[in-house]
A and B are shown apart, each in its own frame.
Chain A
């Protein structure tokens, strides 16, 4: 497999970043993990602008997106990803602390690929991250460039 695509983790809580990285580490994925700390930074990365103007080409294999973010929140980031002809094929997993129904409904209506409520227990959290990482970063076959995303 040539050039493994990176995993983009969008998370404002340093503790959640550390725990997520620990969990991803456990999966022994070879993908690089890029961490950005708010929605604006995430968009800068995704659209290769600002501080990320000269980032290496290649879009993330998956975006792990926290719902509640400073500046631009997760739903807005999701909206922009799915509205972009080039990016809309990139899978987005929404991570959230709450079970709020309306967030779920809104996320799905914006075209989220998965919605995960972060479990309190670390083992469950590990499992969830591992499963997600495995599925989206390794197993999932992204659509060919320019074609429509899978339903």
Chain B
């Protein structure tokens, strides 16, 4: 026997999956099949060896009623009105003929009706009454069993007892359609297969689909000679047929397995094929019709029980996780930032998916809880995930199978649920499960699913059913449906929170914009309506002084001067306030600014005003900054004016200007040797209308330094000051270097 090259094997297996097994063109030999039209005329027929002599001559083109004994006539006449499309075969009557006794079974297939006459056994017709006690006992026992496992064991035992076959297995499919024997009742004539597995390819997809639709199948003799459907049976759909012939590959599989007869009953959970009750017999054997009916009934009861068990197990798990979910929501709601709510309750977070560890990755930072891979590994995983074009949630039982980096972190992170919680940033919430090394017993090497025969052309199925053990590595315990649902729900909640926050922010900024607009309108009207009266006061006072000045007393003259000065300073206050409010809304156009040139310019203006006393300037090397020139000019002017104002009592006034670079920012400072201030009040220095000196000592509106602070901070910089009463002050501002 030569080894089959892998490429050929895969190709042939694919061919095997395409084999149209629902139209085999033949039947098993223990009966006859007629395809008749609505009028009862036979279009096609197959007569098996065990039905020989049932009809005389070629039945094609003749009325079926004419071919069969008189007692079948009524049944045949009623067929067209009785049979409903899409339903399984109906047992219509028991027919005694010269060739023997037959079960008359029929179903509709498209426009045709398919009549099958299955050869009865010697002691038939049996009745449901014969098996009823067994069925009732089974139903009673079902009530007392708890869990799917106990149910499977009960079903295997009862089906074998009712059928008398050598072995009854309960075969269960997993998510990938691999199957495992989870329960077995064995009479000792065939090997025990309990706990063995077979790969999905042993029961190809189209075979599974047939199992799903037609719930019971009997192969009476693996060595049977199929009876062809004539004249051309290649298109007759035998999906619902009881006599349907099976694939030669399957028969070979049975012979290799050393079981000459088999019967299978499908188990469904809802609409999905869940597993099979699979019975085998060492010798060819036929199971009587009523026994098979009882087995089908048992199969239906088991299916319903499984569905109920699975639904209630899922509901219980969901219920438990729901509680965890609600707690997590409460934790998130209690925190300013919802992530903190998750991080501060690691046990709930991990319980939500039954994980051993979890991590939150946000803004390149990684917070780990429980048993997780190293931070560098998690960040690498996130990087890989964000590079993929994936769904929002990534789930795997075996990270190593999906990603080469996965093998390194298998000990703590073989199973992963990773969900992105922000579309904009690479933020992820990740759960981890460690590797769980298991030994799995296969019924034969799962890799050698099939082999090429000595002829080299035809595919032969599995030959060896020897236990073949495999150690499954790099896999974690699979995530359950309820756990995945819970994680998805949490994601929805988080996205909701994020969205709600975003909406709140949008509403807030909308309100802010409205307030800003109002403020703008306010400052606009202030500038007009408040400035004008001040201008008028000054104007009229000066006119008064001009035209009536000679007639005023010295005191009257002083009063007028005070009126003028006060109105002018009030007008200046309005101007300053307006520029302060404009500072917040005018746009910034940052360019590279030569601070030195700006200082020299301001110096010249100031020296003209400061002619009265001597000023000693020490201007060091200044560095260019990146900012809005109009605004920075205001800063420079304000600080120099400030220095000059508070040092005018000094002889000479010394003003130093210097700069240094620190962490990409240029820090420029202006120092004077003037009145200084108490550091206890340093916080008040930059506030609006905050003054540290009595009004008569130093003039000013109290907005200048507030403006400086506002301008610098709008550029992302900062201002601060140092001082000592009577020992001068230093003002610093930091702006980005050019």
Contact = CB atoms under 8 A, between A and B. Distances in A.
Interface of B: 524, 527-528, 531-532, 534-536, 538-543, 564, 567-568, 571-572, 575, 578-579, 582, 586
A15 B536 contact: yes
A73 to B, nearest CB: 12
A16 B536 CA distance: 7
Contacts of A16: 532, 535-536
A52 interface: no
Contacts of B568: 120-121
Given A22-B543, A120-B534, A125-B535, A68 B528 contact: yes
A57 B586 CA distance: 45
13 contacts: A13-B532, A15-B539, A16-B536, A19-B535, A99-B575, A118-B535, A120-B531, A120-B534, A120-B535, A120-B572, A122-B535, A122-B542, A125-B539
B540 to A, nearest CB: 7
Interface in A101-124: 101, 118-123
Contacts of B534: 120
A98 interface: yes
A42 B423 CA distance: 60
A101 B586 contact: yes
A141 interface: no
Given A15-B540, A97-B531, A120-B535, 7 more contacts: A19-B535, A68-B528, A97-B532, A98-B524, A100-B527, A101-B582, A122-B542
Contacts of B542: 122-123
Contacts of A123: 542
B543 A99 contact: no
A97 B527 contact: yes
A118 to B, nearest CB: 6
Interface in A78-103: 97-101
The 3 A-B pairs with the shortest beta carbon distances in the complex, nearest first, are A120-B571, A98-B527, A122-B542
B567 A120 contact: yes
Contacts of A125: 535, 539
Nearest to B572: A120
B536 A97 contact: no
B543 A97 contact: no
Nearest to B534: A120
Given A13-B532, A121-B568, A99 B539 contact: no
Contacts of B575: 99, 120
B533 to A, nearest CB: 9
B579 A99 contact: yes
Given A121-B568, A122-B543, A97 B535 contact: yes
Contacts of A119: 535
Interface of A: 13, 15-16, 19, 22, 68, 97-101, 118-123, 125
- Looking at chain A's contact residues, the main secondary structure is loop
Nearest to A118: B535
Contacts of B586: 101
A119 B535 CA distance: 7
A113 to B, nearest CB: 22
A118 B536 CA distance: 11
A68 B524 CA distance: 11
Nearest to B541: A122
Contacts of B541: 122
Contact of A122 (B531, B539, B582): B539
Contacts of B527: 97-100
Contacts of A121: 538, 568, 571
B92 to A, nearest CB: 94
A13 B567 CA distance: 18
Which among A22, A101, A120 has the greatest number of chain B C-beta atoms within 10 A? A120
A120 B586 CA distance: 24
Which among B534, B539, B540, B582 has the greatest number of chain A C-beta atoms within 10 A? B539
Nearest to A13: B532
B538 A122 contact: yes
Nearest to B579: A99
B582 to A, nearest CB: 7
Given A22-B543, A120-B531, A100 B524 contact: yes
B597 to A, nearest CB: 25
B707 to A, nearest CB: 14
A87 B567 CA distance: 39
Nearest to B567: A120
Contacts of B543: 19, 22, 122
B81 to A, nearest CB: 89
Contacts of B582: 99, 101
A99 to B, nearest CB: 6
Given A98-B578, A120-B571, A122-B542, A19 B536 contact: yes
A20 to B, nearest CB: 9
A98 B579 contact: no
A119 B567 CA distance: 12
B599 to A, nearest CB: 25
Nearest to B578: A99
A23 to B, nearest CB: 9
B567 to A, nearest CB: 7
Nearest to A96: B528
B539 A19 contact: yes
Contacts of B539: 15, 19, 22, 122, 125
A119 B586 CA distance: 22
A5 B579 CA distance: 38
Contacts of A120: 531, 534-535, 538, 567-568, 571-572, 575
Contacts of A68: 528
A51 to B, nearest CB: 27
A53 B337 CA distance: 73
B417 to A, nearest CB: 55
Given A120-B567, A120-B571, A120-B572, A98 B528 contact: yes
Which among B531, B541, B579 has the greatest number of chain A C-beta atoms within 10 A? B531
A8 B536 CA distance: 21
A12 B63 CA distance: 115
B164 to A, nearest CB: 100
A145 to B, nearest CB: 37
A13 B535 CA distance: 12
A99 B564 CA distance: 22
A82 to B, nearest CB: 24
Contacts of A100: 524, 527
A5 to B, nearest CB: 27
Nearest to A101: B586
Nearest to B528: A97
A101 B541 CA distance: 30
Contacts of B572: 120
Contacts of A13: 532, 536
A86 B304 CA distance: 97
A18 B528 CA distance: 18
A24 to B, nearest CB: 13
B330 to A, nearest CB: 50
Contacts of B535: 16, 19, 97, 118-120, 122, 125
A118 B567 CA distance: 14
Nearest to A20: B539
B538 to A, nearest CB: 5
A31 B6 CA distance: 110
A101 B578 CA distance: 11
B565 to A, nearest CB: 10
Nearest to A23: B539
Nearest to B545: A122
A100 B524 CA distance: 7
A125 B543 CA distance: 12
Contacts of B531: 97-98, 118, 120
Contacts of B538: 120-122
Nearest to A15: B536
A15 B529 CA distance: 13
A99 B568 CA distance: 17
A77 to B, nearest CB: 17
